[in-house]
Structure formats: C-alpha cells, structure tokens
Structure 1
Amino acid sequence: MNFKAVSNKVIIVLPLVIFGAFFPFVLFAQTAPPEPYGPVPSPRQISWQQTNMYCLIHFGLNTFTDKEWGYGNVSPEKFNPSHFDADQIVAAAKAGGFKGIIFVAKHHDGFCLWPTKTTGYNISKSPFENGKGDVVKAFESAARRYGMKFGIYCSPWDRHSKYYGTYKYVQLYREQLKELYTHYGPLFEVWFDGANGGNGYYGGKNTTINIDRTTYYGWDTTWNDMVRKLQPNAVIFSDVGPDLRWVGNEGGHADETSWETFTPVPLAGQTGYGPGYVDYSHSPAGTRDGRYWMPAECDVPLRPGWFFHNDQNDQVKTPQQLFDIYLASVGRGAALDLGLAPDMEGRLYKKDVESLKEFEKILNKTFARNLAEGATFKASNIRGNNPRLYGPHNILDKNPFTYWATDDSVTTPYLILSLKGQKRFNIISIGEDIKLGQRVGAFAVDAWINDQWQQIAEATSIGNLRLIRLPEYIRTDQVRLRITSSPVCPAISEFGLYAEYTRKETHKS
C-alpha cells in the first residue's frame, strides 16, 4: 500500500515537474515578437548608432593659410607642422568620451594628405617628413592604438584639379576613394560633403565651374560599386544618405521632434536630389514614416571654424556648451560629430583639450548612475502575458535590444516605476529597440507629487535615444510613463532618471 501511494505520487508529481519545466517554454513560444514598423536599420547603421559621438578632424593647407575654404592654388610647401602628434589629438578625443574619428583626407582645395598616385598636389610634395609623410596613416594608426573607430572624408569638390567638371575627374576621384578604402583598414563611416562646384584655381584657369549635383558624380555607382564592396561595414553620410543624413545645420542640434526615418525632398521645381542639392528644411526633423531609415548626424566645430585660427583660441566651446549640444543631438536620436582643429604645430591647443576632458567629466558624472535602478513595476499590459520576454524589467538591463512590449491591440499603455526611495533628478532617458523601427509617436512622464500624479514631461519621437532635460529638479518615489500616441504596440528598451552634474550640485544631497 505504501509503495502504491509513493508510486501514485511519482506518477502525479513527475508530470507536474515536467509540465512546470516546459510549460513556460510552450506558452512563451506562442508569443511572437512585434512585427517591425516601417523602415529598420541595417547592421552597419545599428553599429553606427551605438557609437553616438565621434570627431571630425580638419588639418591641411588651410591650417597654415588661416582659411576655411582653400582656393586650390597654395603650394604644398606651406604644409609643414613642426610637432605633429596624431596620438595627442586622438587621445584628447578619447578623453572627451568620443568613440571614433573621421579624418579629412582631402578638403575642397584638393590637397591630399596621403601620398596619392592620382595627383601631384599631395603631401609627398611638402617638406613634412621630407616628403615621406602620410597624415591619413598617422591618424588611422593612432585611432587603432586608442581603440577608436576610424572614418574618412574625401571632398568630392576639388578646386585645384584642372579636370574638375569632366568625367576624367570623376574617374580620378574614384581612384582616390579606392586608395583610401583599401590602404587604411576598416572604416566605420565615409563622409561626402554637399559643397560641390563654384569658383576655384582649377589648374590655373581661375574660373567658376558648376556641375549637375544630381548626376555628375554618379553617386549610385560610387557608393554601390566602391563603398559597399570595399568597405561593407561603413555607413555612408551625405545630405541625402543613403545611410545617414546631414541634420541641416552646423550648430550640432536636431529638432526636438527628430525622426530617424527620412524621405529626401527635391528643391522646389526639381525632380532629382543629391549631396548639396536638396530641400534642407526637412533635414532637422526627418520624416515620420519616411521611406528610408536615415538618422541624422549633427556636425559642429569645437571652435567657430572647422580649421584652426589663432584668433579663435578664446572662443572654444565650454564643457557646458558641449553638454547642451549632446542633449540636442545624441539626446534626440542623432549622433554628435564634433570638429577638432589641430594648430600649425600639428597638435590640439591646450584649451581645446581641457574643454574635451571637462565635457567627459560632466557626461560621466551625470550618467554614471540610473536612479531608476532597483525600481519595481506595474504595467498596464505585457505582451502575451509573458514578463520573461517582454516585461518592464528589460528597460533597466542596459541592453538596447530587449524591451517592454504590449499586445498588438494595446498601443497607449502605461508603466509605473516605484523607485527605491525618494530620488532627485532632472534628466529623463528613454529608448526604443530600433531593430523594430521607430514606433512611438508621443509619450508623457508623470511624477507622484503631493499624493497625485503630475505631468513633468512630454515629447514625440524616441528612436535610439531620447533625453529630456527638465526645467527644474524633481523629487519623487514614483514615476509613470504613458505612451500617448503610437500606430503599433511600443517596444521600449530603456528608461532612466539622472541628476545632471554641475559643480554647484556636488554639495546637494
């Protein structure tokens, strides 16, 4: 009898153990992830998006002639930095929290900073390192040493070349790109400026040459046959993508509503578009439900100019100004591309270095601790009633590709976070899993203050990252996230509360 009882227990309990072990798998397997909404990023775009900040380095003949745009008639003999130190420049960028550099291998004056075989107007004709120098290689090597990503800008416009405006120049330009894309290792980004055509030296013609910016360079061929084949992991930046769009200003800011999708719009009365030939009024905000996944890059120089000018030494942007720019670029789903300008010695000026270092200090101290960590959650809905896969705990796991999601029919849910005690903050962070597209159209955040919910923030686009700086510090032990508009269920991957670091804040509890 005892054996029978034990046997019955085994017969009964064992299936329960098996059912308990496998039932969650059976149940969860029936809960499919949300379908992507609209265009989604490619793997190269996702990798770029996680970079967030990098630097664009302008250093060439203009450095020695006190110009921004060289005419193309300056002798290579002018280029001769006395104490060139790529490591000092790259180290300063890294100390500033930046993750990559893009070097301007050729600006509009046509002077090539590597020993190209396509033109004699290059560094081998300068006295620098007795004509044996290669500044592109120097920056590429320094970037690798400091664990930084490396990219290249090679201006399409060439005010020196006598062939500019003809097909022969396009062939020469493509050869320049081939040299750069095959001799300097893997690139994370290649940069194409919108400045194309105008007055210049052009081999001594001293004339104006205008080109059809939509057709002259044959961008489809250049991008598809060269970049995609020679640097398949590099994103392509230009006014019109195809991977990244120019934000439309050089102030370093996207619009408060900034969609990561974009449909380029031709100029009024035109049917085509290209770099330097597009309606820029749409660029800062992007296009809701745009045709392409084409997030914005926000470029801005650390000084007023892109190249070094001695009279701008007292006009270096302050660390606080850089943090404001960060919030308006990275904090609006874009990337920050900060211009650095080495001086005539070939080094970054001390004030530039100091500003970068202090900027990183603000970033690090502000975002070192998410005050929402340890919170408990109450969600109005969890997709498939499956908290393991789609529960709100995912928004605090620091993984941009896990998320809180709801059932397809629930597009305006809410989530309450009960914090571990009273927290004081003035910055809110939120992100979406961009592998599923940019989904949310609008959201709001409330705080429990004086025994009631009070709205403290509202915004529209989210995307990869959205940072909201509140007008004043908030102290509370509960916050509520409300999705107020979305065409599909949300997929929220991140949520954070932070206290902005300033010197005066260090003495506050």
Structure 2
Amino acid sequence: MRDIRLFVFILFTSTSILSSQSLYELQKEFIDLRFGVFFHFGIMTFTGDPWATPHQDISKFNPADLDCNQWADAASKAKMKFAILTTKHHDGFCLWDSKYTEYDVASTPWKNGKGDALREFVDAFRKKGIEPCFYYSVWDNTHGIGNKEINRDDIEFIKGQLTELLTNYGKIKLLFIDGWSWKMGHRAVPYDEIRELVKKLQPECLLIDNTHIPELYHNDLIHFETAVKCPADNRLPGMQSMLINKSGGNDWFWSPDVATAPLLTADEILESLDYLEKRWSVFVLNCPPNNKGLIDSSIVERLSEIGEKWEPDFNRPPLPETNTVIEHPVVIKSAEAESGNADFAVDGINDRYYYSYWESDSTLPQSIIFDLGKNYDLIQFGYLPKYTPVVQPDNDGSITSYVLYASKDKIDFDKIAEGNWMGDHRMKVIRFPAVSARYLKLVVNSAVNNRAIITEALAGKKK
C-alpha cells in the first residue's frame, strides 16, 4: 500500500448485476462440489511465530519455488473441486499488494515486491477446473482491528480490502471470514453492511463466518471446525474442516515437522467423505504448503491415493430446503428487557469457548424490545436459543409461546405475529407480511424451565 483512503469509490461493472440463482441454488451447487482443500499459507509459514503474532518479520517471506500449479495438480488428483487460500490471517499479513497496508507481499523480497500469490493461486486452480475461494480474517492483530473498540476507519479498512479481493481476481465462489463473531461480534463490525458489500460485488459468492454456531445464523453455510463434527441429523448446507497432518505444524500452518508427520490415512479421509456427503456437508482438508511454496511430497502422495479410491455419490438426494435463512439481515443495534442483560441478545459475540445470552427471570410473560436504529421494511424475525461451550446447543430457556409486535416510535406497537415453537435447541425464524418498523417487541408467554434465553436475536428485511 502506498496511500490509505478511508472511502473507496468503485465503478461496479458486470459483477454488480443481480444473481440469476437463488441462495438455495447457490448453496446446493456448492454442496455438490463435495470435496475441497484449505491452504493456510502466510508469514507464519516462514517465521514459525505463534498464531496471531503481530508485526512478524515479513522480510522472511520468500517462497522461492512457489508453484500453485503443483498445488492445483495435487488437488485435482484427489478429485477436489474447490480450494480456499488464506489471503490474510489474524496476524494481518496480506498475500496480495493491498493499498491499505504495507504489511503485505509488496514489502517482501519475494519477486522484488512484485509478486501476487492470490493471482497465481486463482489462475492455477481455474486451469484445473477447481473453484478458487478466499479466506479473510477481520481480526487484524498488526493493525489492531479487534483489539480495541471498532471505529469507522476500521470498518472502511475491512471493506476496502474485501473490495480488492472481490474485484481483482474474478469470480470467487466462497468467502470464508474468520475472527469476526468470536472476536468482536457482528454488531461492532456490522454484519449487514459487510454482507451487502460482498453480495453487491459478487452476487453469487457464498459467505461464511466462523461463528461456532451450527445453524445458519448470519451464514450461507455452517462451518464445523475440526473436532466439532457435523451432526448425524444435519440437513443444512455445511462445511467440515480438518487437518491432514495428525501432529506437527504451526497451528493450521506448515512447520518443518509436517514433512514427516503422520497423516490421516486414505481410509480415514474416505470415511469422512462418506459420512459428510450423506449429510450435505462438504469436506475441506487443510494441506499447508511449505516455506518453499510447495506441498510436501507425503501430502501429495496421500491426495493422489484418495483420488484413486474415492468416487462421489451422484445418487445422493438434493440438499433439503430450509425456512431458517435470513438472506437480508438487519443488525439489531440495542435491546432492553424487563429483567436480565438484554444487550447479550444482540451483541453478535459467540465463541466456541464463550457464549453471551439474555436470560429473563422466571416471571413470565415477559418482553424484550429490539431497536434496529431506523425504520426498515421487515419480513422476518428469529432467535438462537442457548449455547454453552464447546458448541453445545441447549433447550434450557427455549421459547415455546410468543407474540411479536412492531413499532416506528416505541410507543404504539402493532401485533404482527404470534405462535408456538418447539422447545428444542434449533434456531427459530418466522416470516410475516412486510411491516415498516424500527422496533420489535417479543413477548415471551412460556419457555422451557419457565425462563427465556436468547443467544442472538435476528431480523430480516425485504430485498
């Protein structure tokens, strides 16, 4: 980067047109890819510094033999159909020349600062007919984004870098965001604003945030990370990630011991593929490139072995449709309730080791009012029941009877929906005729164990 701008003005061309495919069609198309590869590759590969270390010595980044064609060939032999590359991890180092920072490949000795790892990646994989996808961390430990209160400059920084990624490298089928919900939350960095940008730039790009919530809460696909396994009864579009190396590595990145580390056997990988395929979840296998810019020979051989043994099941039924998707979300700005900490229901912060939630006292009926900040034409409302570590949904406090009201001024409320829900742990979403409102009031008439618990409240607007 050589010049920081707080506002980016872009002439949106053909990528700005509306997608001709529905979200369900895009989800179904991606799930039918079945098998993909994850490449964690960045400054940690070269320094050996711990996960998320800021201000690493980027002069060490110099993958002299970088060959994304080797990566793509190995993935192709395994019959993988998509590939995800870490464009920027939590440390903040960018694999492309970003005009928003000098902490990027342009400031390294690699190719005299003229290299672009993303360009080499997308070109190599497209030549093999494999869909290139991007990972991007919102948490940036070098620039301090996520380590303090988020300000407007931080949001514009994030949007500027996402704009670079989604306008300079052609069609990107999936954007995988991390360090967001579990680090700073979807309110501090507003999910609706980021989602609208992504869908404006690339309407057919699916969006994942690593929320550690096994529901379609602010997600086009659910991510099941390593030990958190796709449940046996899953009927939602999902993605299971796993490391190919059983030991060694620098977190998800390469370290010298990966070259001799025991790997998942072909049979273990085939077993996962079979299990996940039947549950409409793609399988993405992390295969970290080394500091020469190549995949170690042991991993290449294992991928080839998988390809010789595995065949997709094209008789699998199509992805089931669901009514729990909020395609055009509105981030709720604040909440107030008769008891408990209502803000926990709208902070958008969830981690596998920590979940905040609003919990009422045992005096029901009881209400909670949500402020959306301004009037919207609303058509949906939903909520996530209780979660506890590690990624454990719980039916304690699940709402079983409710009435929903809407208002423009928080004085006069009109009833827009009422009904009953199963007292289970699944996310609940209701749809109603469009109503212009800034405030929603949920009256809880009854709940499991006679108290209401909401991990996150959700609202959806008209397109």
User: Given the two structures, how large is their TM-score scaled by the length of structure 2?
Assistant: 0.59
User: Residues 132-151 of structure 1 correspond to what in structure 2 (within 5 A)?
Assistant: 132-151=114-133
Q: Is the 8 A contact 2:235 2:320 kept in 1?
A: no
Aligned match of 1:49 in 21, 31, 37?
Answer: 31
* Structure 1 residue 236 corresponds to structure 2 residue 221: no
Aligned length, in residue pairs: 288
Aligned match of 2:222 in 245, 248, 256?
Answer: 245
Partner of residue 362, structure 2? none
Partner of residue 55, structure 2? 73
* Structure 1 residue 349 corresponds to structure 2 residue 349: no
CA distance in 2, matches of 1:330, 1:308: 28
Distance 1:95 1:252, change over 3 A: farther
Aligned match of 2:193 in 221, 231, 241?
Answer: 221
Aligned match of 2:273 in 294, 306, 326?
Answer: 326
User: Residues 193-212 of structure 1 correspond to what in structure 2 (within 5 A)?
Assistant: 193-194=178-179, 211=184
User: Residues 111-130 of structure 1 correspond to what in structure 2 (within 5 A)?
Assistant: 111-130=93-112
Deviation sequence 1:317-348 (CA, Å, 0-9, x none): 22112112212322322111111200011000
Distance 1:252 1:88, change over 3 A: farther
Q: Is the 8 A contact 2:40 2:86 kept in 1?
A: yes
Partner of residue 92, structure 1? 74
2:207 is paired with a residue whose SS is strand
For residue 278 of structure 2, what is the amino acid of its counterpart? G
2:242 is paired with a residue whose SS is strand
Q: Is the 8 A contact 1:68 1:306 kept in 2?
A: no
For residue 238 of structure 2, what is the amino acid of its counterpart? A
Which has more helix, going by share of residues?
1
Partner of residue 301, structure 1? 243
Q: Is the 8 A contact 1:52 1:330 kept in 2?
A: yes
2:234 is paired with a residue whose SS is coil
Aligned match of 1:259 in 231, 235, 239?
Answer: 235
Q: CA deviation at 1:431?
A: 3.3
For residue 219 of structure 1, what is the amino acid of its counterpart? Y
CA distance in 2, matches of 1:93, 1:432: 26
Distance 1:101 1:65, change over 3 A: same
Aligned match of 1:154 in 133, 136, 141?
Answer: 136
CA distance in 1, matches of 2:132, 2:124: 9
CA distance in 1, matches of 2:114, 2:276: 39
Deviation sequence 1:27-79 (CA, Å, 0-9, x none): xxxxxxxxxxxxx9622112112111111111111101224513112121010
CA distance in 1, matches of 2:226, 2:76: 22
Q: Is the 8 A contact 1:67 1:307 kept in 2?
A: no
The structure whose Rg is larger is 1
For residue 299 of structure 1, what is the amino acid of its counterpart? S
* Structure 1 residue 361 corresponds to structure 2 residue 288: no
Distance 1:68 1:358, change over 3 A: farther
Partner of residue 310, structure 1? 256
Deviation sequence 1:122-154 (CA, Å, 0-9, x none): 100000000000001110111111111011111
Question: What's the C-alpha RMSD, in Å, of the aligned pairs?
Answer: 2.2
For residue 357 of structure 1, what is the amino acid of its counterpart? S
Aligned match of 1:182 in 152, 160, 167?
Answer: 167
Q: CA deviation at 1:362?
A: 1.3
Q: Is the 8 A contact 1:253 1:325 kept in 2?
A: no
CA distance in 1, matches of 2:110, 2:57: 13
Q: CA deviation at 1:110?
A: 0.1
Aligned match of 2:284 in 313, 337, 340?
Answer: 337
For residue 254 of structure 1, what is the amino acid of its counterpart? C
Kindly, what percent of the aligned residue pairs are identical?
26
Distance 1:431 1:161, change over 3 A: same
Distance 1:222 1:195, change over 3 A: closer
2:133 is paired with a residue whose SS is strand
